[in-house]
Structure 1
Amino acid sequence: MTKQAQQAVLAAELPERGQPLAGGVFVTRYWLNGVERAFILLPDELSGPWGEYGVKIEGADSYSDGEANTRAMAEAGSVIAIKALELGGHIPSCLEGQLLMAAKADGLVEIRGDRWHYLSTQFSANLAYIMDFSDGYQGYGYKLGERSVRPVRSIPIQ
């Protein structure tokens, strides 16, 4: 069952960074596809393989739009993508991973730094981007391995 997530937030009602918003922690404001958005880290942690090794998923290669990547992954059968969408969130893209790292470095959010996390941006048919939240390093790893995912939510600011 998909959780009903808050659909938008008024600019005047935005909390300070690091404070609760829409079922998670408000990370920052950012622009995506011409729309200013509030970026939120959800409290859940998921784990599993990114998708099927050797299969390139069309539409899962955006460096900025994690929701579009996650939807493409889910349509292709990715279990972690389906779980993230059921939570009313998505798997962060490469850009969104960096926004999370900046918030972690500023002491606003907590994300485990003892393991690699999948990002939703696909590198190739065999590889997906991964991130180390202990130091902010992004690289890529095989899609078939089990890794953690921290779902996020992005809602328009009105």
Structure 2
Amino acid sequence: MTQHAQQSVAAADLPERGQPLAGGTFVTRYWLNGEERALVLLDNELTGAWGEYGQDVTGAKSYSDGAANTRAMAEAGSDLAAKVLELDAHIPSHLEAALLMSAKADGVITLREDRWHWLSTQYSAYYAFDMDFEGGWVDCYGKGNERLVRPVRSLPIQ
């Protein structure tokens, strides 16, 4: 895995929303597991299957922790998750995708509206959540099918 130089950010060093941070665009501040964090959207776009249809990935059921979900996906054999982790990033969780949609609606970031995007949150052994960033629709889709991913980083705020 490629190590990204910036592992955290000081609160005083946070840019305005929509400005560059940690190799991407600063989206928003949020709380995850009792820690305030900065969500950063990368410009990379990857396409692939979420994972194996019918495989239950028990560690990928968090609605909030996309990094934990993505690691569990990679450990279960997801090529897409492994590629995202190589960027020192993760696939957005259900919560992180909602924050991305909110930032898009506020004009802070741009996301493709012509493709559905995978989320790292598993729905079942057969389906995972995906989101349409045109209207913010969340659905679930067969894990073996291809979807787009826009990786994110989540940095602790010091």
Q: CA deviation at 1:6?
A: 1.1
In 2, Cα distance between equivalents of 1:19 and 1:120 = 25
TM-score, length-normalised on structure 1? 0.98
Partner secondary structure for residue 154 of structure 2: strand
- What 5-or-longer segments of structure 1 have no aligned partner? none
Aligned to 2:78: 78
Match of 2:44 in 1: 44
2:57 is matched with 57
Give me the whole-angstrom Cα distance separating, in 2, the residues matched to 1:128 and 1:7: 28
For the residue of structure 2 that corresponds to 1:9, the secondary structure is coil
List per-residue Cα deviations over 1:24-52 (Å, max 9, x = no partner).
00000000000000000011000000000
What amino acid maps onto 2:126 in structure 1? N
CA distance in 2, matches of 1:96, 1:136: 12
CA contact (8 A) 1:48 1:146 kept: yes
Deviation of the 1:64 alpha carbon: 0.2
User: Residues 78-97 of structure 1 correspond to what in structure 2 (within 5 A)?
Assistant: 78-97=78-97
Residue 59 of structure 2: SS of its match in structure 1? coil
Instruction: Please state whether the residue corresponding to 1:101 is helix, strand or coil.
Output: helix
Report the Cα distance in structure 2 between the residues aligned to 1:116 and 1:16, rounded to whole angstroms. Answer: 28
Cα shift at 1:58? 1.4
1:107 counterpart = 2:107: yes
Structure 2 match to 1:133: 133
Distance (Å, rounded) in 2 between the aligned partners of 1:13 and 1:85: 25
SS for the counterpart of 1:59 is helix
**Number of residue-to-residue matches in the alignment:** 158
Q: Hey, what's the Cα distance between the residues in 2 that align with 1:123 and 1:77?
A: 17
Aligned residue identity for 2:23? G
Distance in 2 separating the partners of 1:4 and 1:41: 14
Q: Secondary structure at the match of 2:58?
A: coil
> Quick one: which amino acid aligns to residue 143 of structure 1?
K
Query: 2:11 and 2:115 mapped to 1: Cα distance?
Result: 35
Q: Which residue of 2 aligns with 1:143?
A: 143
Q: TM-score, normalised by structure 2?
A: 0.98
**Equivalent residue of 2:52, what SS?**
coil
Which residue in the other structure is 1:68 paired with?
68
Residue 19 of structure 1 aligns to which amino acid in structure 2? Answer: Q
* Farther off after superposition, 63-72 or 2-11: 2-11
**Backbone CA RMSD of aligned residues:** 0.7
